[in-house]
Structure 1
């Protein structure tokens, strides 16, 4: 089977992990309705926090209070029968406490339709920047960096030709990771993100197109969008102090880009009116999908054989 239906889900995660899980489940249900094979969700889908201590507090609840809600919903949407089970997978960005440090891991996990976690990638590059007239962010204060590139893996026995490479947000600025994933067989690479508005305006789409053209792969970029409520887990608003009022805004504009650099899917960004995408519960989320064509990918790689033309003899010291 050469064609694969791939979706990006977009939302505005808060610090309320239960509410975030509810929206994820709505996106799963909508994906099933539209016969999606893979749903890619943003970085930090589980929560956005106020500070490092708050992040660690929430991360300690994810394995017991966030993931089970999604896993049970998957099982209810895709009940296993004696016949071959329906092909559906979710890639979702979550936090988990580090077993060795007092920080959290920024992870991307791959879950099947039975709620089983099959793969996990830990973010390599951490966003430590001080942008003029923009944000000052030091992700390393609360997040432990990963140490390994996860080998690309086939989607399934039904889709053996499609191989997925996992990366997260700031990783998109480091082409050596993109190249390593491609060199080891990836033809779908994902960059789930919570991009800042300042950098998003100028670099988000440009980086996605560049990585697509570099790798001659489909690039999937699910994104957080809008103003995040980092106090949503506080039951009494009157108790919120000034120090707890943290402004977090994500750029949005989730994208799916083909191997030629063509944008196939584009969702809203933070400056758009998001009201039309709110449901009866006043929950905001968006879903966009595209059918991936394997023959199209092969033709691009055949007509412009970048893999064969790379001068690995010259650049071997940085390619291995």
Structure 2
């Protein structure tokens, strides 16, 4: 048995990075007191703001981001790892637009891995809401898997979950645990959230941990919540519903090998020619 105690943080993030930093530090302390070894936070843990002008005025580089600095300090203080789901940050490689970047931070406060969200959500919803993520963020172009003391961790963000090839690539690169931090809208969350996350877990034979935004936000949007942990057989081990807070769960990482042994889809995959 390879046990790992994880924490999943579900938040209703507002428009102030300073306020978010304080809330995250408090949650990291709470997680550490509960014996959490690896904490997962949602997409846009520092600031969730659909006002592009206000968001751009508040976004900073990694070196100047108050949320990233606070989380790194708290991780080191409390000696636990944090997957900081994502922050909007300025990056030299995307001078015109910020990136939606996730971070893996170890128990010394060091940044072990970064991942820039690849797939950007551009859609006109039946509710009349029009979302153009590509107008506010630059896309990433690199899949990322990183090592932790417990397992290889694959990184993704929110809308990525609709693109199975990314998850197959993460599992093929050794990921046993895959993070899907998110800020799903309520209509798409109600229709697809559980199905998509269970499918990605089953297809890859991996644990999927999806820390999510929830509730009515300061910028006027509403998110679905229901942070999930799904095991490699597709069973939902945790569903946090709609309330913000911290959940703690022990998972057995040996379940990955067991599931992949029963359904060796990764080993059985074959290349093929596309239709003419």
Superposition TM-score, scaled by structure 1 size:
0.81
Q: Retained in 2: the 8 A contact 1:107–1:122?
A: yes
Give the root-mean-square deviation of aligned CA atoms. Answer: 1.8
Matches within 5 A, 1:144-155: 144-150=138-144, 152-155=145-148
Q: What CA deviation, in whole Å up to 9, does each residue of 1:286-316 have, x standing for no partner? A: 111322213222111112211222123x26x
How has the CA–CA distance of structure 1 residues 296 and 74 changed in structure 2, closer, same or farther, with 3 Å as cutoff?
A: closer
- What residue number does 1:72 align with? 73
Structure 1 stretches lacking a partner, 5+ long: 79-87, 231-246, 275-284
Q: Deviations over 1:6-55 (max 9, x none)?
A: 22101111011111111111221121111111101000000012422222
User: In structure 1, what is the Cα distance between the partners aligned to 2:98 and 2:248?
Assistant: 31
CA-CA distance at 1:75 after TM superposition: 3.0
Which contiguous aligned blocks of 4+ residues in structure 1 show a shift greater than 4 angstroms? none
- In 2: Cα distance, 1:146 partner to 1:308 partner: 28
Partner of 2:126: 132
Q: Deviations over 1:232-286 (max 9, x none)?
A: xxxxxxxxxxxxxxx21111110000001111111122xxxx4xxxxxxxxxx41
* Aligned equivalent of 1:200: 189
Equivalences for residues 21-32 of structure 1 within 5 A: 21-32=21-32
| Aligned 8 A contact 2:115 2:155 in 1 | yes
Between Structure 1 and Structure 2, the one with more strand by share is 2
Instruction: Trace 1:1-320 onto structure 2 (pairs within 5 A).
Output: 2-60=2-60, 63-64=63-64, 65-78=66-79, 88-92=80-84, 93-99=86-92, 100-150=94-144, 152-156=145-149, 159=150, 162-230=151-219, 247-269=220-242, 274=243, 285-312=244-271, 314=272
Conserved? CA contact 2:115–2:143, under 8 Å: yes
In the TM superposition, residue 192 of structure 1 has moved relative to its aligned partner by: 0.2
Count of residue pairs the alignment pairs up:
272
User: Gapped runs of 5+ residues in structure 2?
Assistant: none
